[in-house]
């Protein structure tokens, strides 16, 4: 009986330790963890406020229409770029990918509506550039039938595959190359994400970076394959911009 009580006591201590650790990894003032590093809500707010202010005072102008480009950024988007850049830079280092000395902030501004002087535009441009470089590392990767089916179903749902059946779609050489590259990049990024031990605050839902998408109404696009940062978060992404 004494041994049973002692084991029970040890179990209680262990459960308390696990609870304490879990609490440390879900602090309300932390948007995401990258191992021992933290992306704080204060940091998110700073990037958010700067972009909002800049978009109001000096809005981005569409180069073709000369109309103001709306700011499409959400708070989840801010968290996404703040997590993505260090993760992708780690991937680039592991894959011996040379990063450019600067990124196309102007193109990022046209896509997001955040002026190119803002940190958000710079982070977005950085993220998009490195994703592109990672994709180029696997030009001959063969996609699985499951990957092809996933992409095809997404295109059908988006109304982008009218008149094309799956057999025709999956036999196309360019399609297979694009899906294969994206699937390989997804695996590489997610493997690094797990090694870093990324955890996103559940309030932001399941975040990741798109490695294959299809254009919709400019400048928007629909993700087809996404490298997920934290599979443990599955609630809908926050879209509140207040």
DSSP 84-146: HHHHHHHHHHHTTPPPPSS--HHHHHHHH---TTSHHHHHHHHHHHHHHHHHTT-TTPPPPHH
The rounded distance, in Å, linking the Cα atoms of 103 and 100 is: 7
Determine contact, residues 136/185, Cβ cutoff 8 Å. Answer: no
Q: What are phi and psi of 143, to 5 degrees?
A: -80, 155
How far apart, in Å, are the Cα atoms of 80 and each of 13, 15, 89, 120, 179? 36, 32, 14, 10, 23
The rounded distance, in Å, linking the Cα atoms of 210 and 226 is: 4
Higher pLDDT residue, 127 or 157? 127
Q: Is the pLDDT of residue 65 over 90?
A: no
Lowest mean pLDDT among 27-31, 68-72, 150-154: 27-31
Q: Is the pLDDT of residue 23 over 60?
A: no
Q: Is the pLDDT of residue 14 over 50?
A: no
Mean pLDDT of the chain: 86
Region of residue 96 (left: phi > 0; alpha: psi -120 to 50; beta: else): left
Across the range 140-160, mean pLDDT stands at 92
CA angle 147, 35, 233 (to 5 degrees): 45
What pLDDT is attached to residue 234? 53
What pLDDT is attached to residue 22? 41
With b for 16 or more beta-carbon neighbours within 10 A and e for fewer, the 187-205 pattern comes to ebbbebbeebebbbbebbb
Lowest mean pLDDT among 9-18, 163-172, 214-223: 9-18
Residue 159: pLDDT band with limits 50, 70, 90: confident
Across the range 192-220, mean pLDDT stands at 89
Q: Is the pLDDT of residue 206 over 80?
A: yes
Predicted structure pTM score: 0.82
The rounded distance, in Å, linking the Cα atoms of 48 and 80 is: 12
pLDDT in tens, 115-139: 999 999 999 999 999 999 999 998 8
Q: Is the pLDDT of residue 44 over 70?
A: yes
Strands 37-40 and 30-34: antiparallel
Lowest mean pLDDT among 8-12, 32-36, 85-89: 8-12
């Amino acid at each position: 009986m004494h041994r049973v009580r002692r084991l029970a006591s040890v179990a209680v201590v262990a459960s308390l330790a696990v609870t304490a650790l879990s609490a440390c990894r879900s602090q309300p003032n932390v948007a995401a963890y990258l191992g021992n590093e933290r992306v704080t809500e204060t940091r998110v707010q700073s990037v958010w406020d700067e972009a909002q202010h800049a978009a109001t005072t000096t809005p981005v102008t569409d180069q073709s229409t000369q109309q103001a480009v709306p700011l499409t950024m959400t708070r989840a988007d801010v968290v996404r770029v703040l997590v993505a850049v260090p993760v992708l830079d780690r991937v680039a280092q592991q894959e011996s990918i040379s990063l450019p000395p600067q990124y196309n902030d102007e193109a990022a501004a046209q896509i997001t509506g955040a002026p190119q002087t803002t940190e958000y535009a710079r982070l977005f441009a950085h993220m998009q550039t490195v994703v592109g470089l990672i994709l180029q590392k696997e030009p001959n990767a063969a996609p699985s039938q499951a990957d092809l089916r996933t992409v095809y179903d997404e295109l059908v749902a988006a109304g982008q595959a009218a008149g094309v059946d799956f057999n025709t779609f999956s036999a196309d050489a360019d399609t297979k190359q694009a899906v294969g590259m994206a699937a390989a990049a997804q695996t590489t990024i997610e493997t690094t994400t797990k090694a870093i031990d990324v955890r996103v605050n559940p309030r932001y839902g399941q975040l990741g970076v798109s490695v294959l998408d299809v254009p919709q109404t400019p400048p928007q696009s629909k993700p087809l394959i996404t490298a997920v940062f934290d599979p443990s978060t599955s609630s809908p992404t926050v879209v509140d911009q207040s």
